[in-house]
Amino acid sequence: MAPSSVVVTIDKSTNISLVELNDADTSVFFEKQRTASTKQFSWTVLLKIHRILSFFPWIAIGFSRTLISVKKRIALADNHRDEVQYKERLIYRFIRVFLAISIIALIFEFIAYFQHWDLNFIHEINPTNVMGLLHWLYVSWITFRGEYVAPSIMMLSQFCVVLFMIQSLDRFVLGIGCFWIKLKKIKPMIDGEGYDIEDGSSFPMVLVQIPMCNEREVYQQSIASACQLDWPKDRILIQVLDDSSDELLQILIRNEVNSWREKGVNIIYRHRFIRTGYKAGNLHSAMQCDYVKDYEFVAILDADFQPNPDFLQLTVPHFKGKPDVGLVQARWSFVNKEENLLTRLQNINLCFHFEVEQQVNGHFLGFFGFNGTAGVWRIKALEESGGWLERTTVEDMDIAVRAHLNGWKFVYLNDVKVLCELPESYEAYKKQQHRWHSGPMQLFRLCLPAILKSKISKWKKANLIFLFFLLRKLILPFYSFTLFCVILPLTMFIPEAELPIWVICYVPVTMSLLNILPAPKSFPFLMPYLLFENTMSVTKFNAMVSGLFQLGSAYEWVVTKKTGRSSESDLLAFAERQSKNEDKIQRRLSDSGLEMLGKVKEQEAPVDPKMKKKNRIYRKELALACLLLTAATRSLLSAHGIHFYFLLFQGLSFLVVGLDLIGEQVA
């Protein structure tokens, strides 16, 4: 047999029973194999260690860059433009005191942790076992919180959990209603046939109102969209209701109106010298014109709304044969919903509002809150309900409630969409949300006696009071802020009142899933949406308290900033109109025209970098970020698991918002 041969003996064809190695060098061969395998394993381990170690410098660089960015943001932030100084706000003082107490408590918890004080059986500790002053203080605090603080926190948390579950049930019922509408393909129907195209006199008289105030970015496209509405020219009048304080802008808008009038459009320009009552005052003034009595319907379009030419053709016929219908509301559609993370998160909320809330309430109740624009009113309904009032900052909801109390019904058209913009900066969005959540509380205080005395059914009264106002306008911001921004971090220092996992995890995620269903493309943003909604709760809670108790900030009206974005089909036409703007001015050879041309050129000059707008920092949000991160650190000491991760990411969410790192970045 050859010296290097290997003999393999097989007893059975299906089983190898014996392997005989007849080679003196075989052991050397296997030894080399083992050595090579050891070296390969060592190199593999070293390679993995190298990759792990190289990851840390990347984290360090990213962290240092983030700190530099944060430092720059704080140094350059513009904090002098807040309409109400933060030091005057009670809620900020409360957060600061809460944060200071939490930091002190965390220091004691660190000392207890590293001293290995076992407090699981604290009630068995007697004074002889106390080790020093700090230990005595900590033992006293544990005893005090267990007997006096924890029961109160538990009662408050249980109350908030009950409110949370009621609100979740309301969302669930709305979702079922929306599913039923989709399943049965229910849509508002038009009675009879439409209007005779060949007979213009068969069309009702329609007034179109465009209220605006210093809307430099959007006035041209909004006027152009209204002037292109498909309706007989002699049966429509467009009112441009300009409340601008900028004299140059007034001239520009007036010139835009004149250019469309020269094309045969029935359009007029109105400017108030005494601008009181904000938008409600503007609309009320316009309705006092003598010629309004010749019109049957009025369509309201805010300055950034761009209806399709068939908007009136799709909405006005729903009044035909229905004398009890007072309002037809269309849905909003957004041209910039994918512009940044902030607009994506807003789109989720508003999709649920229109797809679910408005549609379900419109079909089953015949009532919903007027959205303030993209709607057509029967003028008779406005007049019988008292017209536009200046008593709140939500004049749209005010007139809707009063019309409902007078027996008028509303129709919501989910398939008719009107393009508009979402606020792209957090500052603009925050001011908008403050107005949207303080106004309803003002209105609730004013309308409650009228609701109780009205002749509508008890079910409609209960719906208005408990669902429309209390549950969706008051309870939602109250429990969201109290439960997730106050009680949850508090329970980290008072573990006797710890919240169950299903309250902070399973139910919020389930409700967020329901909210996101109308916008299925937004599913990847589920967790950012959940965290951002909790972050916005501080603004909504502050607004709700301001409106309920008539604080100064409840009556603030700030026009939401617009960027002038158009749909892709409108970009070319809009650019052409912009290029003709200077030509219009030059054709007017008057001194005022030449002066205006000079002002336009001055405004187009480069802006001084020192005067450039800067992002802001928000102290309430930053204080809450520190509070939640402090509570997360305490949770980490106790190995709370899901509580730690929730507090950590929620704290980081507040930090991002507080540094104005979400939405439009201008500095």
Greater confidence (661 vs 111) lies with 661
Q: Decide if 102 is inside a domain.
A: no
Interval 110-133 mean pLDDT:
57
User: What is the per-residue pLDDT for 598?
Assistant: 55
Q: Decide if 23 is inside a domain.
A: no
Greater confidence (507 vs 292) lies with 292
Interval 479-503 mean pLDDT:
87
User: What is the per-residue pLDDT for 611?
Assistant: 45
User: What is the per-residue pLDDT for 663?
Assistant: 80
Is the predicted pLDDT of residue 31 greater than 90, yes or no? no
Greater confidence (512 vs 193) lies with 512
Interval 417-443 mean pLDDT:
92
CATH number of 408's domain:
3.90.550.10
Is the predicted pLDDT of residue 210 greater than 90, yes or no? yes
pTM: 0.80
- Under 8 Å between Cβ of 242 and 253: yes
Q: Find the radius of gyration of the CA atoms of the chain.
A: 33
Percent of the chain with pLDDT over 70: 73
124-128, 165-169, 541-545, 634-638: segment of lowest average pLDDT:
124-128
Which distant-in-sequence residues (6+ apart) come within 8 Å of 595 by Cβ? none
Listed residue (540, 543, 534) closest to 652, CA to CA: 534
Greater confidence (367 vs 593) lies with 367
Q: Decide if 235 is inside a domain.
A: yes
User: What is the per-residue pLDDT for 101?
Assistant: 79
Q: Decide if 44 is inside a domain.
A: no
Greater confidence (69 vs 497) lies with 497
User: What is the count of structural domains for the chain?
Assistant: 1
Q: Tell me which H or E stretch contains 522.
A: none
Tokens of 198: 């060949």
Span 73-111, pLDDT tens digits? 656 555 544 444 443 466 667 777 877 877 777 776 777
86-100, 162-176, 368-382, 394-408: segment of lowest average pLDDT:
86-100
Q: Which of 242, 243, 304, 398 is catalytic?
A: 243
57-71, 442-456, 636-650: segment of lowest average pLDDT:
57-71
Percent of the chain with pLDDT over 90: 44
Q: Which of 302, 396, 398, 660 is catalytic?
A: 396
Interval 30-41 mean pLDDT:
59
Does 570 qualify as catalytic in the annotation?
Answer: no
Greater confidence (121 vs 403) lies with 403
User: What is the per-residue pLDDT for 274?
Assistant: 83
Q: Rounded to an integer, what distance in angstroms lies between the CA atom of residue 232 and that of residue 369?
A: 30
For all residues of the chain together, what is the average pLDDT? 81
341-345, 478-482, 585-589, 612-616: segment of lowest average pLDDT:
585-589
Is the predicted pLDDT of residue 529 greater than 70, yes or no? yes
Q: Rounded to an integer, what distance in angstroms lies between the CA atom of residue 477 and that of residue 262?
A: 50
Helix (H, G, I), strand (E, B) or coil at 121: coil
Is the predicted pLDDT of residue 515 greater than 70, yes or no? yes
Interval 398-408 mean pLDDT:
96
E-only strand ranges, 401-465: 409-420
Place 17 in a pLDDT band, splitting at 50, 70 and 90: very low
305-319, 369-383, 500-514, 579-593: segment of lowest average pLDDT:
579-593
Interval 533-539 mean pLDDT:
92
- Residue given tokens 């392997």 in the structure block: 19
Q: What is the 3-state secondary structure (H, E, C) of 167-200?
A: HHHHHHHHHHHHHHHHHHCCCCCCCCCCCCCCCH
User: What is the per-residue pLDDT for 191?
Assistant: 83
User: What is the per-residue pLDDT for 47?
Assistant: 72
Q: What string of DSSP letters covers 647-663? A: HHHHHHHHHHHHTT-SB
User: What is the per-residue pLDDT for 470?
Assistant: 92
Q: Tell me which H or E stretch contains 235.
A: none
Highest mean pLDDT among 18-32, 233-247, 587-601: 233-247
Interval 217-244 mean pLDDT:
94
184-193, 308-317, 566-575, 613-622: segment of lowest average pLDDT:
566-575
User: What is the per-residue pLDDT for 72?
Assistant: 63
Is the predicted pLDDT of residue 2 greater than 70, yes or no? no
Place 565 in a pLDDT band, splitting at 50, 70 and 90: low
User: What is the per-residue pLDDT for 353?
Assistant: 96
Q: For the chain, what's the residue count?
A: 667
Q: Decide if 328 is inside a domain.
A: yes
- Residue 84 DSSP label: S
Interval 63-75 mean pLDDT:
62
User: What is the per-residue pLDDT for 40?
Assistant: 67
User: What is the per-residue pLDDT for 504?
Assistant: 86
Does 246 qualify as catalytic in the annotation?
Answer: no
Span 146-170, pLDDT tens digits? 788 888 889 998 998 899 899 889 9
Is the predicted pLDDT of residue 604 greater than 90, yes or no? no
Q: Decide if 282 is inside a domain.
A: yes
User: What is the per-residue pLDDT for 326?
Assistant: 97
Place 466 in a pLDDT band, splitting at 50, 70 and 90: very high
User: What is the per-residue pLDDT for 221?
Assistant: 92
User: What is the per-residue pLDDT for 610?
Assistant: 46
487-496, 513-522, 523-532, 636-645: segment of lowest average pLDDT:
636-645
Interval 178-187 mean pLDDT:
94
Is the predicted pLDDT of residue 486 greater than 70, yes or no? yes
Is the predicted pLDDT of residue 116 greater than 90, yes or no? no
Domain that residue 319 falls in = 202-339+352-425
Q: Decide if 362 is inside a domain.
A: yes
- Under 8 Å between Cβ of 299 and 206: yes
Tokens of 480: 């969201």
Which distant-in-sequence residues (6+ apart) come within 8 Å of 444 by Cβ? 469, 470, 473, 474, 548
Greater confidence (620 vs 367) lies with 367
Measure CA 344 to chain center: 9
User: What is the per-residue pLDDT for 588?
Assistant: 44
Q: Decide if 308 is inside a domain.
A: yes
Q: Rounded to an integer, what distance in angstroms lies between the CA atom of residue 62 and that of residue 454?
A: 62
Is the predicted pLDDT of residue 596 greater than 80, yes or no? no
49-53, 276-280, 322-326, 329-333: segment of lowest average pLDDT:
49-53
